[in-house]
Amino acid sequence: FEQIPDRIVTIGTGLTATAIELDLLDRMIVCDRYSVLDNHSIFNDLRNKVGSEQILASGSAYSTGLESVKVDIWRMTEDLYLEKGIDVKGVDRLDVEDIAIFITGTPTNINQLYEDLSESKLSYKHILRWDTIDSYDSLIEMVRTMSLVMKGEVDPHVDEMESIVDYIDTILSGNPGVNRREAFYVTYSGGELKVGNFGSLANSMIEAAGGISITNDASMSKTYAANIPKLIEDHGTDVVIFVDDVLASNESSMDTLRKSLGGQDVKLVRLDPLWNNYCIESMNGVWAMACAMYSDAYPDVFVGDVPVMSNDYDDDVVLFAVAGILGAAMIAVLAYLYFRS
């Protein structure tokens, strides 16, 4: 880009969270409505700005919300240019270069939104879109891209996201007597349990956390229905199962998972929804996964209130405390960076 855009639009909860963590909230003019509806505390200040119409948030990347996204962006663009003494309603065409738009969603929807915004009378020149992020490394690159576009430099969060992985690997590699823990990610869709595979972000995070995903299968889709009892039979009850938040929040789906385990004592770890998302918070998810897999072997290193669920799962399951894990993660990162330097 020839210049750093003044304003930012984020369509996608993970992108909005990332923009907030990059200290871009005061430059945000439009986001999607699901970011506002998310009850995570990271969005508290966002909700206040939407309530005062400093930020508009009536649309989404779903087909039913695309028109509202465009209307919000056009309205805020008109207001911004009026402040500069330009009435965009009176121009035949205007190239908009001081607003950057970041979008995630299905290819069909985000491509349609891209075409509508780049080819309209107000032609937006800085639109970045992702229809999938299939690995933790790709997620880091997304954060790097947003920070470069909006700040002109790589934000320190990028190094933190990378260093968490390096730190975990350094600890585990330094003790070959400790076996890498086997694990897999489980979600629920289409009326059945599905496990993570190549192309699944959560699956990639297991490996970033030093684990071995036992459900990788190049012949299958990025999530697929697997024989969970057979997985436990083949790999033993020492396997760690990382449970999608939507699945963990549904008692009926959890009953299905419990039955598939046949009453065996297998560690279940509930994932915060922002961990398995397109945002910086995934760094905390990687650290939480490492704690879940290796706190027994390294009690003084991998510490924290890991969200372990028994097969007697009930409603009072405690999510990993984000503030606590962030503090532990940052201490670990700083220690690692100190020794690396």
Q: What is the pLDDT of residues 5-17, one digit of tens each?
A: 999 999 999 999 9
Residue 30's H or E segment, with its range, is strand 28-31
| CATH hierarchy code of domain 7-131 | 3.40.50
Mean pLDDT, residues 188-199 taken together: 94
- Residue 103's nearest CA partner among 78, 123, 81, 133 is 133
| CATH homologous superfamily for the domain 157-340 | Nitrogenase molybdenum iron protein domain (3.40.50.1980)
Mean pLDDT, residues 128-140 taken together: 95
Domains 7-131 and 157-340 share a fold: yes
The Cβ of residue 237 has, within 10 Å, a number of other Cβ atoms equal to 11
The secondary structure of 148-188 as a DSSP string is HHHHSS--HHHHHHHHHHHHHHHHHHT-TTSPPPEEEEEEE
224 token code pair: 């697929």
Flag the least confident range among 153-157, 226-230, 247-251, 315-319: 315-319
Mean pLDDT, residues 15-41 taken together: 97
Mean pLDDT, residues 257-269 taken together: 92
Beta strands per DSSP E along 144-288: 182-189, 192-196, 212-213, 223-224, 240-243, 267-270
Calculate the average pLDDT of the chain. Answer: 88
Residue 200: exposure state from Cβ atoms within 10 A (0-12, 13-18, ≥19): buried
Residue 30 scores a pLDDT above 60? yes
83-118 pLDDT, tens digit per residue, is 999 999 888 899 999 999 999 999 999 999 999 999
Mean pLDDT, residues 55-65 taken together: 96
Q: How far apart are the first and last CA of the chain?
A: 33
CB-based contact 282:301 (threshold 8 Å): no
Q: What percent of the chain has pLDDT over 70?
A: 89
Mean pLDDT, residues 161-186 taken together: 92
pTM of the predicted model as reported, rounded to 2 decimal places: 0.87
pLDDT of residue 340: 35
CB-based contact 322:272 (threshold 8 Å): yes
* Residue 304: band (very low, low, confident or very high) from pLDDT cuts 50, 70, 90: low
Domain ranges of the chain: 7-131, 157-340
